[in-house]
Amino acid sequence: MIPVTGFESRHVAVLGLGRSGMTTARALQVGGAVPVCWDDNPEARARAEAEGFEIRDLMAPGGFGEIVSLIVSPGIPHLYPDPNKVVAAAWAAGVPVDNDIGLFFRSFGSGDWDYFDSPPRVVAVTGSNGKSTTSALIHHVLDAAGKKAQLAGNIGRGVLDIEPPEDGDVIVLELSSYQTDLARALTPDIAVFTNLTPDHLDRHGGKGGYFAAKRRLFAEGGPDRAVIGVDENEGRYLANQLSQGPGDDRVIRVSAAAKLTGPGWNVFARKGYLSEYRKGRQAGSIDLRAITGLPGAHNHQNACAAYAACRSLGLAPRVIEAAFQSFAGLPHRSQTIAEQGGIRFVNDSKATNVDSAEKALQAFSNIRWICGGLQKEGGLGPLQDALGSVKKAYVIGREAAGFALQLDGCEAEVCTTMAQAVAQAIKDAEPGDTVLLAPAAASFDQYDNFEQRGDDFAACVMAALGL
C-alpha cells in the first residue's frame, strides 16, 4: 500500500466507500491521517465502521468541522450534470476536493529513493478507447523483458493499493476521465493519449469538457515524454500544444491511419506493419498481422502507443516485438476464446458503443455478428459502412427486434438470448467465418455488466462446442 502523506493527525473525509474509497481510507490511516467516512449506502457505511473507521454524515450541522480535505470516489459527480451535495458543501466550507489519483501522485515518492540507482517511474494512459489494452500491453512487455512493473488505476489494483516501488520499478496506470478530471496532482513520467471519441458527455458537460479532463494529464504536471495518438483533431491539437518545435522528441506522435513523416519521433501502423521513425529515419518495425492478441487497426493503434511508451523506457524494438507475440489480449476485448472447424470465436463484449463495435467489425472478415442490448443515444447509423464484412447478425436483448430493424442491408435474425444467438451462429457458420460478440450496446437490459455478458458468450460457445 502507498501511505498517503501530508495529512498526519489531521481529519480527511472520504466520500464513497466502494473499492476505491475503502482503499483510500486505509492508505490515509497508514500515512497517519484520521479518515472520516461517508456513503449514502448503509451497508457500505457498516463495512467501513466494522474496520474501525469513523462514520460521519458530512451534510449534518458541523459535518465538515476539522476536515482539511474531501476525497471523492470516481463515480461521484463533482461538477456536471450537477455537483454532489457533499462536494458543493465542501466548496462552501472552503475544503479542498481531491481523489485517490491526486493522493497517489503527491505521496508516491519517498526518502528511500535517494538510495536508488534508478528512481521508479510512472506511465499513465488515458483516452476514450484502447487505454485498458494499451496499459496491459505496456505492463506485459515490461514483465516479459524482466522489468518489475505493477498495473493499477482503472485496471488491476487501486492506485493506493500497490506495493511501494523499489529501485527501477515502473508503475503503469490506466486513468479514466473521471480520475484525471479531479486529481489535484498529475505528474507521470510518461503520459499516453490513445484517442478521443464522444463518451461520458453528461458527466463532463459536453465533448469539450470531456477532452479537457483528458488533457489535464498532460497540462497539470508536464510529463517528461508524451505519447499522443494523432488520428483525431484533439490529439493533433494536444501534440502541437506540447511540442516546442518539429524536432522535439519529447512528443511521440502515434497513428494507425496515416504514415507520419517529419524530423520528430513517430510511430505508426500501415497495412499491418508498425514502423518507428526518428529524425526522418526508420528505427524499428514489427509485423503485427499474425499477432492474435492484437487484431485490427484499433489494436494496431494500441500497439503503437505501447511500443512508443516502452521505447521511452529504453527497451529495444526486438524485445518489444517478442513480448507482443505472447500477448493474449484482455478478456472481453477482441479476445479469441476458441477455434474449431476453421471457425473463430471472438469475445468483444467491451464494445458497448457504436464506435468500438465499428472497430471490431473492421478487424475481421466473414463475420457472424452477435449484437444488441441496451442501445445508447445516436442510433446505429455510423455502423453502416462497417457492415460489409458481416454475413449475418444475430440480435440479442429485450429490444432485439427494434435493434435489428436499424441494420439496413444486413441480414439479421432476432434471437433475444445469448444461448440462442450462439447456437444459430454456429449452425450457420462455415470454415473461415468469425463468430463475433460486439454488441454496440450496453449490457444492463440482461446482465449486470459487460463482463458478465462476455462470460455468458464464452460459456455458451464452450458448451456448444463440447469444450
359 is in an annotated binding site: no
Instruction: Enumerate residues 6+ apart whose C-beta is below 8 A from 42.
Output: none
Q: Is the distance from CB of 457 to CB of 418 less than 8 angstroms?
A: yes
Confirm whether residue 194 is marked as ligand binding.
no
Angle between the 233-242 and 207-219 helix axes, to the nearest 10 degrees? Answer: 30
**Count of residues making up the chain:** 467
Does 127 carry a binding-site annotation?
Answer: yes
Neighbour count for residue 9 (Cβ, 10 Å): 7
Task: Give the chain's radius of gyration (CA, Å).
Answer: 23
CB 79 within 8 A of CB 28: no
In the three-class reduction of DSSP (H, G, I as helix; E, B as strand; rest coil), residue 311 is classed as helix
Spatial separation of the C-alpha atoms in residues 172 and 158, rounded to whole Å: 12
Question: What is the DSSP annotation of 152-202?
Answer: EESSSB-GGGSPPP-TT-EEEEE--HHHHHH-S----SEEEE------SHH
Distance CA 383, CA 361 (A): 9
Buried b vs exposed e over 117-141: b needs ≥16 C-beta within 10 Å? eeebbbbbbbbbbbbbbbbbbbbbb
Residues 230, 236 contacting (CB under 8 angstroms): yes
Q: Determine whether the annotation assigns residue 131 to a binding site.
A: yes
454 is in an annotated binding site: no
Q: Where are the beta strands (DSSP E) in 303-429?
A: 335-340, 343-347, 367-371, 390-396, 412-416
Closest CA to 60 of 86, 96, 22: 86
Asked if residue 261 belongs to a known ligand binding site, the reply is: no
Burial of 448 (0-12, 13-18, 19+ CB in 10 A): exposed
CA distance 240 to 262: 13
Residue 5 contacts residue 30 (beta carbons within 8 Å)? no
Cell numbers that stand for 458 in this block: 464464452
**Whole-Å CA distances, 146 to 128, 139, 169, 172, 251:** 30, 11, 11, 15, 26
Helix (H, G, I), strand (E, B) or coil at 440: coil
Q: Which three cell numbers stand for residue 291?
A: 499477432
Say whether 378 counts as a known binding-site residue. no
Annotated binding site for ATP: 127-133
Binding residues, by number, are 127-133
